[in-house]
Amino acid sequence: MRHKNTVFHDLLKLVPWNTFDALVARHGADDLVRSFTTRHQLIALLYAQFSGAESLRAIETAMGSHQARLYHLGGKAPARSTFADANGSRCPLVFTGLLEHMLAQADRKTRREMKDVVRLIDSTSLHLAGVGCEWARFSADVCGAKAHVIFDPDLGRPVYHSLTAAKINDITAAKEMPIEAGATYVFDLGYYDYEWWARLDAAGCRIVTRFKTNTPLCAAKDLPLAPGTRVMSDRIGFLPARQAKARKNPMADAVREIVVVTDTGKTLRLLSNDLDAPADEIADIYKRRWLIELFFRLMKQTLRIKRLMGRSQNAVRIQLAAALIAHLLLRLAQSIEKSSRGFLDLARLVKANLMHRKSIVDMRAPPPRHYQYPPQYELLLCSA
């Protein structure tokens, strides 16, 4: 009988394995490894993400029941202790390096002018509890981590991520992020830092964020409002020359204050260093910030980042990278499938058909309208 690949096999074919093998060799991830290689580990991590497995025992049991089919895609059912040891000790740079390569490839295929590139910045919390999470101690009773993400709303995928303990401020992680000259950066009040803003402004980036309620706009000058606009006011001025403790404010250039009222009736004071764009355009750009919140919710609904299987810093880094790789693979599968249905629907179909012998494009195929009996049964039916 001719072998037919599974849905999981089709997804794994989208992984750049040559790059992965090069990363394994560069970091010596398979040195002294006897049987459960780093490739086996990545396949097991992706299986856990796509299938929704909630524990090491569930992965061991489920993958063990599909060992014959895993053979054809280079996978192996891991023992719980072996899998846990690999997550806790293997170099996370192999997985983060693979993710960075895949993100760069996805961005390279969609070439845009840098002035049209929008970057949304935010973080989401990851709850940790149990042995091994002391590195993420937040208080006497709580441990947690933060995933810091730069998100491209046009591509619908992240372009950068990092992991810190929950007690690390968002702006501290943001200062370590790469800056793309000429891009538009959108963020909320957690990134309120004049020094960082000055770095973005010096790189030619457009900033769209919010004023704090106690921040005045000095030497303000009103701008005319376009007819029919939803903007309440539009002014150009300067931030305070001095910060706390009488420090000089490095953000000395003029900024813009745009006051808008949301659909819920909330008044927002938006801040931007773009003095020329229409006020409605700035307001629409800030409104797109909600897309990164939807991305975090989608990740927690479809992938395993709400309940992690390993709690050490190494294991959390590996699992977060594997979750983002799984997200990219689903996005690639969505483009291959060319369906009008949404990402969440695709993730559910993949989970239901993961080890079925069918292709990605056949997952939505309707069943035959009439059951076709084999020829030998047709004769019996006719004689009856």
- Alpha carbon of residue 113 to chain centroid: 23
Q: Are 254 and 237 in contact (CB under 8 A)?
A: yes
Give dist(CA 205, CA 198) in Å, integer.
10
Work out whether strand 218-222 and strand 206-210 pair parallel, antiparallel, or are unpaired: unpaired
What are the tokens at 337? 């499938």
3-state secondary structure of 6: coil
Q: In the 8-state DSSP scheme, what is residue 133? A: -
Quick one: pLDDT at residue 293?
94
Phi, psi dihedrals of residue 210, rounded to the nearest 5°: -125, 150
Burial of 243 by CB count in 10 Å (0-12 exposed, 13-18 middle, 19+ buried)?
A: middle
What is the DSSP annotation of 156-185?
TEEEEEEEEETTS-HHHHHTTS---TT-EE
Q: Residue 276 burial (CB < 10 Å; 0-12/13-18/19+)? A: exposed
Strands 184-186 and 118-128: parallel
Nearest CA among 11, 22, 136, 170 for reference residue 75: 11
- Parallel/antiparallel/unpaired status of strands 184-186 and 206-210: parallel
How much is the pLDDT for 371?
Answer: 47
Strand 206-210 to 267-272 pairing: antiparallel
Q: What is the DSSP string of 202-248?
A: HTT-EEEEE--TT---EEEEE-PPPTT--EEEEEEEE--SB-GGGPB
The pLDDT value recorded for residue 341 is 72
Number of C-alpha atoms within 13 angstroms, CB side, residue 145? 28
Q: How far apart are CA 238 and CA 217, in angstroms?
A: 6
Q: What is the pLDDT of residue 377?
A: 45
| pLDDT at residue 45 in the model | 94
**Residue pair 69/354 in contact by the 8 Å Cβ criterion:** no
- Shortest CA distance to 317 belongs to which of 111, 99, 14, 158? 99
For 294, other C-beta atoms within 10 Å of its C-beta total 12
In angstroms, the CA 124 to CA 338 distance is 30
Low-confidence residues in the chain, pLDDT < 70: 1-4, 107-115, 244-246, 339-340, 364-384
Contact of 147 with 167, CB cutoff 8 Å = no
Query: Directed axis angle between helix 80-89 and helix 38-51, to 10°?
Result: 110
Residue 81: which residues within 8 A CB-CB, separation 6 or more?
none
Report the distance separating Cα 124 and Cα 144, nearest Å: 10
Nearest Cα neighbor of 259 from 283, 288, 291, 237 is 283
Count CA within 13 A, CB hemisphere, residue 161.
31
Q: What is the rounded CA–CA span in Å between residue 147 and residue 125?
A: 6
Say which DSSP state 149 is in.
E
Residues 10 and 353 sit within 8 Å (Cβ to Cβ)? no
pLDDT at 245: 62
Closest CA to 238 of 208, 209, 275: 275
